Amino acid sequence: EPVIENGGYRFTVKVGKPKDPEAAKRGTKLARGANFQCIMSGAVINDPYIKAESMAGRMGAKLMAIVAEGDSGRVYLPPTAEHEHIAAQAKPEWKPDMPMNRETPNLVSGRGYGFFTWADLFTPRQLVALTTFSDLVGEAIQRIEADALAAGLDPDTRPLREGGTGARAYAEAVGVYLGFAVDKVANIGSAIASWMSDRGAFRETFARHAIPMMWDFAEANPLVQTGGSILAAIEKAKFAISTLPANHRSASFQLDASKQNLSIGKIISTDPPYFDNIGYADLSDFFYVWLRRSLRSVFPELFATLAVPKAEELVATPYRHGSKEKAERFFLEGMTQAMHHLAEQGHPAFPVTIYYAFKQSESETDEGVASTGWETFLDAMIQAGFSITGTWPIRTEGSGRIIAIDTNALASSIVLVCRKRDPEAPTGNRRDFINELKQELPKALAHLQHSNIAPVDLAQAAIGPGMAVFTRYSRVLDAEGKPMTVREALALINQVLDETLAEQEGDFDAESRWALAWFEQYGFAEGEFGVAETLSKAKDTSIQRMADSGIVVAGKGKVRLLKPEELPANWNPLTRKRLTVWEAVHYLVRVLNAGGESATAQLVAKLGATADTARELCYRLYTICERKKRSQEALAYNTLVQSWPEILRLSKTAASDTSVTGELFDNQ
DSSP state, 94? -
Q: Residue 519 belongs to what H/E stretch?
A: helix 510-522
pLDDT (average), residues 413-435: 89
Confidence of residue 637 (pLDDT cuts 50, 70, 90): very high
Identify the pLDDT of residue 159: 94
Identify the pLDDT of residue 656: 58
8 A C-beta contact, residue 294 and residue 179:
yes
Q: Which of 268, 273, 308, 313 is nearest to 288 (CA)?
A: 308
Identify the pLDDT of residue 264: 92
Q: Name every residue whose Cβ is closer than 8 Å to that of residue 491 and which is 6 or more positions away in sequence.
A: 365, 367, 368, 369, 370
Antiparallel, parallel or unpaired: β 35-37 and 44-45: antiparallel
Return d(Cα 93, Cα 131) in angstroms, integer: 8
Confidence of residue 564 (pLDDT cuts 50, 70, 90): very high
Confidence of residue 363 (pLDDT cuts 50, 70, 90): very low
Return d(Cα 369, Cα 287) in angstroms, integer: 38
Identify the pLDDT of residue 226: 82
Identify the pLDDT of residue 191: 93
Identify the pLDDT of residue 358: 56
Maximum Cα–Cα distance across the chain: 90
Confidence of residue 398 (pLDDT cuts 50, 70, 90): low
Phi first, then psi: what are they for 388, rounded to 5°?
-85, 130
Does the pLDDT value for residue 639 go beyond 50?
Answer: yes
- Of residues 199 and 324, more confidence is placed in 324
Identify the pLDDT of residue 359: 55
Return d(Cα 441, Cα 419) in angstroms, integer: 20
- Of residues 171 and 383, more confidence is placed in 171
Summarised one tens digit per residue, pLDDT across range 29-40 is: 888 888 888 888
8 A C-beta contact, residue 26 and residue 34:
no
Return d(Cα 141, Cα 179) in angstroms, integer: 11
pLDDT (average), residues 435-449: 90
Q: What is the separation of C-alpha 303 from the centre of its chain, rounded to a whole number of angstroms?
A: 30
Q: For the chain, give the percent of residues with pLDDT over 70.
A: 92
Q: Three-state DSSP class for 402?
A: coil
Identify the pLDDT of residue 666: 42
Q: Which of 64-68, 124-128, 130-134, 137-141 has the lowest mean pLDDT?
A: 64-68
Return d(Cα 490, Cα 467) in angstroms, integer: 8
Summarised one tens digit per residue, pLDDT across range 106-136 is: 788 777 888 999 999 999 999 999 999 999 9
Does the pLDDT value for residue 192 go beyond 80?
Answer: yes
Tell me the HSE value of 92 on the side-chain side, using a 13 A CA sphere.
Answer: 20
8 A C-beta contact, residue 444 and residue 421:
no
Phi-psi region of 359 (alpha: psi -120 to 50; beta: other; left: phi over 0): beta
Does the pLDDT value for residue 560 go beyond 90?
Answer: yes
pLDDT (average), residues 513-525: 93
Does the pLDDT value for residue 582 go beyond 90?
Answer: yes
Does the pLDDT value for residue 317 go beyond 50?
Answer: yes
Confidence of residue 15 (pLDDT cuts 50, 70, 90): confident
Identify the pLDDT of residue 535: 92
Confidence of residue 412 (pLDDT cuts 50, 70, 90): low
8 A C-beta contact, residue 247 and residue 331:
no
Q: What is the pTM of this model?
A: 0.72
pLDDT (average), residues 597-601: 92
Q: Which of 15-19, 110-114, 273-277 has the lowest mean pLDDT?
A: 273-277
Summarised one tens digit per residue, pLDDT across range 88-101 is: 889 999 999 988 88
Return d(Cα 174, Cα 166) in angstroms, integer: 12
Summarised one tens digit per residue, pLDDT across range 299-316 is: 999 999 998 888 888 888
Q: Which of 194, 231, 241, 233 is nearest to 213 (CA)?
A: 194
Go through 446-467 and write b for each residue having 16 or more CB atoms within 10 A of its CB, e for each that does not.
eebbeeebbbbbbbbbbbbbbb
CA distances from 596 to 451, 502, 611, 650 (A): 22, 30, 16, 11
Confidence of residue 659 (pLDDT cuts 50, 70, 90): very low
Return d(Cα 134, Cα 119) in angstroms, integer: 14
Return d(Cα 611, Cα 82) in angstroms, integer: 57
Does the pLDDT value for residue 400 go beyond 50?
Answer: no
Q: Which of 28, 381, 424, 422 is nearest to 216 (CA)?
A: 28
Confidence of residue 591 (pLDDT cuts 50, 70, 90): very high
Does the pLDDT value for residue 365 go beyond 60?
Answer: no
What's the whole-number average pLDDT of the chain?
85
Go through 60-80 and write b for each residue having 16 or more CB atoms within 10 A of its CB, e for each that does not.
eeebbeebeeeeeeeeeeebe
Q: What is the separation of C-alpha 422 from the centre of its chain, rounded to a whole number of angstroms?
A: 36
Does the pLDDT value for residue 661 go beyond 60?
Answer: no
